Structure 1
Amino acid sequence: MGLELASYGTESYDEMADVDFSDSEVVSYVRDALKSVAEGDTDRYNQLIGVMHYTEGLAADEVALLVTSLQALSGVVSHVDITLHDALLSSIFGMSMWNYGPDVMVALVELIKSLAVSNGGFVDSCLDMLVRNFMPPKSFIGFLRQPWGCARKNEVLNRVHSALSDIAYLVPLAPLRLLPIILKRMPTMFDNEALLVMYVESMLRLESSAIGEFIGSTMLMAVVDRLVDLDVEIGWDEIIQEDSSKGIFHMELEDVEETADYVGKGESEFCRGTLSGLNFGGNVVADKLDNLMVLTCQHLESCYDEGRLTKVFDTLLHSFRITILNAYKSKFAQFVMFYACSLDPGSCAVNFANLLSDLFLCETHPPLTRMSAAAYLGSYLARAKFLSTSLIAYMLKRLVGWCYNYIQIHGGEVKSISPQAHRIFYSGCQVVMYVLCFRMSSMVDVPPLKSQLFQMPLEQILHHPLDPLKVCLPSIVKEFLRQAKAARLFTVSENFFSSDLLESDSSKAFGGRERLDMFFPFDPCLLKNCDRFIRPNFVYWSMVRTTYDDEASSEEEDDNDVLSEDARARSSDEHDIDLDEFEYSMNKMSITPRTSSKHGLTGLQASMRMPAKIRPSTSPESL
């Protein structure tokens, strides 16, 4: 087939104008140009290099010359020397496909694949060139949201990933050589958000490709690592410290409207502070994390649709254990685990609970690891809507059993309470109470689970001289005791509701002023975009039906029945009731809770509800 070239000549590129040459003649010309370098003649070779520097905005004849040159080089790759032709190779590997149209892209990709297959010494450079094309030149970033920019992105990335797949097939060791290149080129958390997201998108695309069989797990772990890096970068300056003069439950009633957009219905939390602004408006790091979380959740969803979530989840479990579990100040990255579990409640969700409980119960693990595992387990059991009540009951039984064995070992005589010495025990007790605050009512509704709950030695544990009721967070203790009293779980003395008793020196010492000893990592995710993946599967405190809510409802129903009968008895005299008497009667008959709060709490009761806002999860660094 003949080619009409704009500027090829028999002696130089400049002299080859408007002449038809066969493919074999062009290949011969380029081969001679490569050979001439060894003889000291570099004129045609330098002109060939110059063509490789053609970039965007090319005229039709320049595009034709570039395409022809690339195609010709593909035919003579065996003559390309890694040393003699270093300048030419540098020019080729420095080309960005984002700058060219489809014809040049196709020719360039074919050349890269030919080089990789022809010589093992070129493989790393070829792979590196393709990986760098995961992202556009910085000058192109502004166009990515435009229709033609999105189309160019798809064109480039489709060809890049196709080339990587072909090279991996033709060069069996290529995937293993690709992995360190990808990790090295991965943008840092300080790089441009669009570039970081686009790069991670390609990493996840590779994870789900044939190449992922060899390197997918490592790439997924690298993505999780980057999530954690961004997460912990959100500093404490975004955190508003709690006013210790207020009961944290009372905060819920103050913050209902402020949190409604993010946590729904006035979320109430067992936590120790709040996030400023909640949506991190203008926080660049939070925006990056949010978008990467969305990308990761979408990938997990596709893994589920493809039937390979279980395999991917094994990698997530490993990554969680070595990266997230003990990460200081991890606030949101852990929700990747939560979402993956929600996709597969029958397998992944159970496996995660088993891992956490095993980590806590294993005596050989460091105390901080066990405490973190307990906090994760408690928060997970409380918040995951997709968990069965029977699984929650089983996990509680394991935790309570360990706590009971602990007090058996330490006997009934304790000279003094030492929160530091018994921190794992107190962590376990606190988690049990925390979970029951969310789940006690649902367990009581199922006779077998109610029987199991009432058989747990909770009373012996909580009344042991180690006295966890004085050491654990007062907000949790109060809420738990209130529900336990309503459910008649065991005898709860009114003295236990004394704020002086609950806010003891031991309680303060357990976590110090900041109480970083315990945290609840699945408190509501306040990242705006990824919230849509979490919300449908998440238990907010406003959704919880407590045992005392049931009790109050029964009492109100009884009162309303009596009031209704009274109203009917007096109905014949309605014409004699003046306006004031009518309003008084209607108020008496109302079934609306006797307070403006939807929970029907006033005074001391209101102060014992859970807070609306939260501080993000923190690790037990203080211990």
Structure 2
Amino acid sequence: MSIDTEKRRIPSILKPYSSFDGSKLNTSLSQNKVRFEDSSVELVLHEVLESNRFQRYELLVSEVKEQQFGDEKFQQIFVESKKCASLLDANFGMLVESLLSANWLHRNETSREVYKDFVIELLVAHNNYTSLAVSKLVQQFVPKDDERAGWSYGKPGEEKVQMFEPIHDLIVRLKNVIPMIFDIILVQMRKSFPYFKKPTHVVCGYLHNTLWMTEYSPMFTEELLEIIFSRMVVVDVNAPRNEIEDAEYPEDDAQMFSMEVKTVDGAEDEENTVMKLPLAETLDCCMEMMFEYISKHLSTDSSNAADRMFRLLLNLFDKQILPTHNTHHVQFLLFYLCSFKPSYVEYFVMYLWKQVGNPNVSTPMRQAAVGYIASILARGKFVQLSLLKTMLQELANWAYKYIQRADSMQHNQSLKAHMVFYSVCQTIFYVVAFRSRQLTANAKNLTFLQTLQLSSIVTCHLNPLRVCLPAVATAFAGVTRAHQLAYCHTILERNARRKLATVYKNDAQTPEECLDTFFPFDPYMLKKSGKRIDSIFLKYEASEAEEDNGISSPEMRGRKRCESMSEDVDDFIHEIKRLKNGASSENGETHFSYSYGVSPGFHS
């Protein structure tokens, strides 16, 4: 038989690595106690190619799989494999997979270098192994579930960092010789991201390595961060505020107050920094890593680099966060980002405002954008008064024009028909009420509020107060009456007489027609990463005129009692605990309770 004929038979004899049954081979070899002889890898490959002899080839594959040899033998096999890399075509898939799967990270430095040299030589010679090689590398980024040692709150210790370093070094070297390889790396990074319910150190370890890749592959920073954002959104949605609250504060109000006072007094220990809900702990550690990453890149001396990072994260917000319903914490990445420069928060708010004013954008997206505007204007300590006034003027002007068009077109007054309008009006009411202390601090600011002609909006035929959240409407009515800007209580009483309470989802009582409102920057509930938010997050403070006139609602009077116990008490948590299933106020009236997603925050 000719050599050419033998070569043509090889594909039918040498099975690809995916179909190789290694268990039978390993069992047979272990029973016979046979080992690969000290023959060169090249000689073994030529035996297969030229003589169709497989015994020593199978022994070589088996020994590489078992890896029961020292560093010296390891180096010998990989040095020889590198020399004959051109021979390792698809017919030798079993051997290639065994070599790529070798446990190289836990060997000495020389062995690691030999492995890296082999991989580079192999992929340059045979690009069909690129996906396999990259997947083996990326899988090394995922810590084992039982390897918790060396991880502190999701961050790797020095030993873990040194273990990951050779992987990143190999990726850099591959990127230099195979420019298009990063497309394959991105695919594998998406595929290999751990399941979101994995232990905290597993998810955070992978996130740490993904962020590491952005340092030496800045061209692909957006793609890598998009992978992170998409996974963090999944974790966030599956760790809702009510579950975090129930896990952190399982007892009654008195004990909750007691716990928070201890925190204020500095009695917080290491155990108290761990979130009791596992998913919340994972999200907390991930958020802290992302805050640190943002801080590092925005504190750079290069203004262009910082601006690029801002635009990149804003783009990811548009793709991943804004369209997602019921996120609770991941959006604070943008909140934190905006605190670095006044121009950032201004750009962010104007970007959202363009979404609201664009009729080609879907109504839910426009309503979500309005919610973000309301929440950041109300909650951001870094929001300058000039931006606050500018946006209130923009919102009011838009509302006036809408009212004029609605008058001429004689539309119906249903909530669905005017969803964006009602959302804009509630934003005006909410921001005026929440920032009343700043907006009424002097005569100049009061004159500005008078120019908004709030009374015209309140008394229009669309009656926006009837669909606002009761807490927002009540707080706004108190501010406007205290400063003689508008008189809303008559309208509120008339609306109340026309409505009957209806039981909606979660057994919470809400008005018959009430906006499905989203306050994305409700109080931050994660412990470790929350320390970065505390200093830039505004809690509600009523203006002096409101307090002096004694017009605050029973909830606001309750707020003063809370403040006497702890100045840092959360805006909503105690009130919502008290009203979770509906409760009666001091005068017998029934108040409505809302989930964290719709908390106006007037109960600090």
TM-score class, shorter-chain normalisation, is 0.7 to 0.9
CA–CA distance in structure 2, aligned partners of residues 416 and 547 of structure 1: 40
Query: Alpha carbons of 1:494 and 1:449: their partners in 2 closer, same or farther (altered >3 Å)?
Result: closer
1:179 deviation in Å?
1.2
Give me the whole-angstrom Cα distance separating, in 1, the residues matched to 2:532 and 2:343: 19
Q: How does 1:31-46 map to 2 (within 5 A)?
A: 31-38=42-49, 39-46=51-58
Report the equivalent of 1:108: 115
Shift of 1:412: 8.7
* Closer, same or farther: CA 597–193 of 1 in aligned 2, 3 Å: closer
Change (3 A) 1:109 1:332: same
Please say which of residues 185-194 and 98-107 is displaced more in the overlay. Answer: 98-107
Q: 1:186 to 1:87 in 2, by over 3 A?
A: same
Aligned-pair CA distance for 1:508:
6.9
Q: Percent identity among equivalent residues?
A: 21
- 1:297 paired with 2:291, answer yes
Among 136, 142, 157, the residue aligned to 1:135:
142
User: What is the rounded CA distance, in whole Å, between the counterparts of 1:419 and 1:15 in structure 2?
Assistant: 82
Pick closer, same or farther for the CA change 1:240–1:111 going to 2, 3 Å.
closer
Match of 1:439 among 435, 441, 457: 435
Count of aligned pairs between the two proteins: 516
Secondary structure, counterpart of 1:36 in structure 2: helix
* Aligned counterpart, 2:463: 467
Once the 2 structures are TM-superposed, how far is the Cα of residue 102 of structure 1 from its aligned partner? 3.3
Q: 1:597 to 1:195 in 2, by over 3 A?
A: closer
Shift of 1:430: 0.7
CA-to-aligned-CA distance 1:461-513 (integer Å, 9 cap, x gap): 1111222223211211111121222233x243654575x74585299799767
Give the whole-Å Cα distance in 1 for the aligned partners of 2:103 and 2:594. Answer: 46
Q: Which residue identity lines up with residue 518 of structure 2 in the other structure?
A: F
Deviates more, 1:32-41 or 1:164-173: 32-41
Contact persistence 1:471–1:506 (CA under 8 A): no
1:332–1:525 CA contact under 8 A, matched in 2? yes
1:160 aligns with 2:167: yes
Superposed, 1:218-617 pairs within 5 Å as: 218-234=223-239, 238=243, 257=257, 260=260, 282-306=276-300, 307=302, 308-342=305-339, 344-411=340-407, 417-445=413-441, 448-488=444-484, 490-492=485-487, 495=490, 498=493, 501-502=495-496, 505=499, 517-541=516-540, 544-548=541-545, 551=548, 598=563, 615-617=595-597
SS of match in other structure, 1:182:
helix
**Residues 15, 117 of structure 1: CA spacing in aligned structure 2 closer, same or farther, 3 A cutoff?**
closer
Note if contact 1:381-1:392 (Cα within 8 Å) is conserved in structure 2. yes
> What residue in structure 2 maps to residue 189 of structure 1?
196
Question: Which residue, 69, 75, 86 being the options, matches 2:77?
Answer: 69
Q: Is the 8 A contact 2:426 2:472 kept in 1?
A: yes
CA distances 1:165-204 after superposition (whole Å, capped 9, x unpaired): 1111111111122211111111221334322211111111
Partner Cα distance (1:224, 1:505) in 2: 42
The superposition leaves residues 43-64 of structure 1 with CA deviations (integer Å, 9 ceiling, x where unpaired) of 4433433442355xx7xx7221
Kindly state the Cα deviation for residue 540 of structure 1 after the two structures are TM-superposed. 1.6
Distance 1:104 1:530, change over 3 A: same
> In 2, distance between residues paired with 1:607 and 1:103?
79
CA contact (8 A) 2:477 2:489 kept: no
Answer with 300-309 or 395-404: which moved more: 300-309
Q: CA, structure 1 residues 413+54, in 2 after alignment: closer, same or farther (shift >3 Å)?
A: closer
AA partner of residue 212 (structure 1): P
C-alpha distance 14-173 of structure 1, shift in aligned 2 (>3 A)? closer
AA in 1 matched with 2:329: F
Question: Could you say if the C-alpha distance between residues 387 and 263 of structure 1 is closer, same or farther in structure 2, counting changes exceeding 3 Å?
Answer: farther
Deviates more, 1:446-455 or 1:163-172: 446-455
- Distance change >3 Å, CA 496–CA 239, structure 1 → 2: farther
The amino acid that maps onto 1:238 is: E
Change (3 A) 1:259 1:198: same
Task: Report the Cα distance in structure 1 between the residues aligned to 2:242 and 2:259, rounded to whole angstroms.
Answer: 19
Which stretches in structure 1 are left out of the alignment for 5+ residues? Answer: 1-11, 17-25, 242-252, 266-277, 554-592
Partner of 1:175: 182
Structure 1 residues 467 and 513: alpha-carbon distance in aligned structure 2, compared to 1, 3 A threshold: closer
Structure 2 CA distance, aligned partners of 1:355 and 1:231?
24
Q: Is the 8 A contact 1:379 1:522 kept in 2?
A: yes
* Partner Cα separation in structure 2 for residue 90 and residue 479 of structure 1: 67
Contact 2:273/2:528, CA 8 A, preserved across alignment: no
- Find the aligned partners of 1:81 and 1:415 in 2 and give their Cα distance: 72
Return the offset for 1:140.
Answer: 3.9
Which amino acid is 2:82 matched to?
S
CA offset at residue 403 of structure 1? 0.8
Identify unmatched segments of 5+ residues in structure 2. Answer: 1-33, 247-252, 266-271, 505-509, 551-557, 566-583, 600-604
Kept in 2, the 8 Å contact 1:115–1:126? The answer is: no
Change (3 A) 1:484 1:259: farther
What amino acid does structure 1 have at the position aligned with 2:173? D
Give the 3 Å change call, closer, same or farther, for CA 330–363 of structure 1 in structure 2: same
TM-score by length of 1: 0.73
> What residue identity is the alignment partner of 2:487?
V
Q: 1:136 to 1:257 in 2, by over 3 A?
A: closer
**Paired AA for residue 162 in structure 1:** D
Separation in structure 1 between the aligned mates of residue 171 and residue 466 of structure 2, nearest angstrom: 61
Report the residue type matching 1:309 in the other structure. A
Q: Secondary structure at the match of 2:461?
A: coil
State the partner residue of 1:575. none
1:390 to partner: Cα distance: 0.5
Does the CA contact (< 8 Å) of 2:85 and 2:122 recur in 1? Answer: yes
Measure, in 1, the Cα distance between the counterparts of 2:123 and 2:199.
31
| 1:232 CA displacement | 1.7
Report the counterpart of residue 249 of structure 1 in structure 2.
none
